[in-house]
Amino acid sequence: MENQPPYQPYQQPYSPNEPLLPLPNATTVLVLGIISIVGCCCLGIVGFICGVIALSLANKDLTLYRANPGAYTEGSYKNVTAGRVCAIIGVVLSSLNIISIIVRLIIYGTVAITHPEQMFHLDRHF
């Protein structure tokens, strides 16, 4: 009993005769990644949420693919990679949009407090 190797869960090796499977969330990651880029214009919230979800799903799929790359189609791997890139771009753009909204609100609030008579003329300056 002392010379036995430690317990390792059984992993069935991939057989070349089996058909290749697509990664489970490949299409979802791609769609959410694209929506995150488009959604960054909607106050940044929609794009940020979709981008974070897409990144989470992409990381799960990439972990699956790295564990057994021969079991999954190359097309689904490329979809996950493209969706991940789109999600990163969408999260960055959404974050910049959210930050710009916060800065504008701070500027409007400061001007409204210090110069309430000029508040109606702010739209011409921004």
Q: Which residues of 62-91 are buried (b: 16+ CB within 10 A; e: fewer)?
A: bebbeeeeebbeeebbebbbbbbebbbbbb
90 within some domain: yes
pLDDT of residue 118: 67
Q: Assign 72 to helix, strand or coil.
A: strand
123 within some domain: no
Q: Is the whole-model pTM more than 0.95?
A: no
19 within some domain: no
41 within some domain: yes
101 within some domain: no
CA distance 45 to 38: 11
Q: How many domains does the chain have?
A: 1
Per-residue pLDDT of the chain (126 residues; tens, 9 = 90+): 566 656 555 555 556 667 899 999 999 999 999 999 999 988 899 999 999 999 999 999 999 999 999 899 999 999 999 999 999 999 999 999 999 999 999 998 888 888 877 666 655 555
pLDDT of residue 117: 73
81 within some domain: yes
Q: How many CA atoms lie within 13 A of 108 on its CB side?
A: 12
35 within some domain: yes
Tokens coding 32: 């959410």
pLDDT of residue 125: 55
Domain span holding position 43: 26-95
67 within some domain: yes
